[in-house]
């Protein structure tokens, strides 16, 4: 439960916020119709929650190195993203749209992964410091 509160809920919030901001910006810059925005927001929320569920299962796998976890997580989530984007017609599957949305996905994914990597690393360093102090006493 602590991991859900500490990692997954904030990750959902960050990913959802960033994705909606990018989506709204692109929609406004391109002058696209905004009548279906509520459905798009609900689809995005469902998508982000599904990504975190996928992340829960991926995080149960014991990887030897962090980069193995990172790359596995990235490629599985990217494949899911492209699949969902195709099913819900989030963008036209032209090369320029795929490149733009891939760049946005990479930015959001990297931002969130880096945030939690630093957070967990700081926590581990604090625990190690406490253990070192206890051993010295």
Per-residue pLDDT of the chain (137 residues; tens, 9 = 90+): 677 777 778 888 888 888 888 887 887 787 777 676 767 787 888 898 899 999 999 989 999 998 999 999 999 999 999 999 999 888 899 999 999 999 999 999 999 898 888 888 898 899 998 888 888 87
pTM of the model: 0.73
Domain count of the fold of the chain: 1
- For 67, other C-beta atoms within 10 Å of its C-beta total 9
User: Nearest 5 degrees, angle CA 78-CA 11-CA 110?
Assistant: 50
pLDDT of residue 22: 81
Contacts for 15 with CB less than 8 Å, ≥ 6 apart:
48, 51, 108, 112
pLDDT of residue 34: 66
Distance between CA 59 and CA 77 in Å, rounded? Answer: 13
pLDDT of residue 135: 81
- For 106, other C-beta atoms within 10 Å of its C-beta total 12
Q: From residue 15, give the alpha-carbon distance in Å to each of 32, 46, 52.
A: 22, 12, 10
Q: From residue 83, give the alpha-carbon distance in Å to each of 87, 105, 118, 131.
A: 6, 13, 30, 46
Quote the domain boundaries for residue 84: 2-136
pLDDT of residue 32: 73
- For 73, other C-beta atoms within 10 Å of its C-beta total 19
């Amino acid at each position: 439960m602590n991991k859900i509160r500490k990692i997954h809920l904030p990750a959902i919030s960050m990913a959802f916020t960033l994705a909606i901001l990018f989506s709204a910006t692109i929609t406004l810059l391109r002058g696209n119709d905004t009548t279906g925005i509520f459905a798009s927001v609900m689809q995005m929320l469902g998508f982000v929650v599904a990504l975190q569920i996928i992340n829960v299962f991926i995080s149960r796998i014991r990887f030897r190195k962090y980069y193995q976890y990172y790359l596995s997580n990235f490629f599985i989530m990217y494949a899911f993203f492209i699949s969902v984007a195709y099913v819900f017609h989030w963008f036209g599957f032209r090369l320029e749209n795929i490149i733009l949305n891939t760049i946005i996905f990479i930015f959001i994914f990297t931002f969130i992964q880096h945030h939690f990597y630093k957070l967990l690393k700081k926590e581990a360093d604090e625990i190690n410091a406490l253990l070192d102090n206890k051993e010295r006493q």
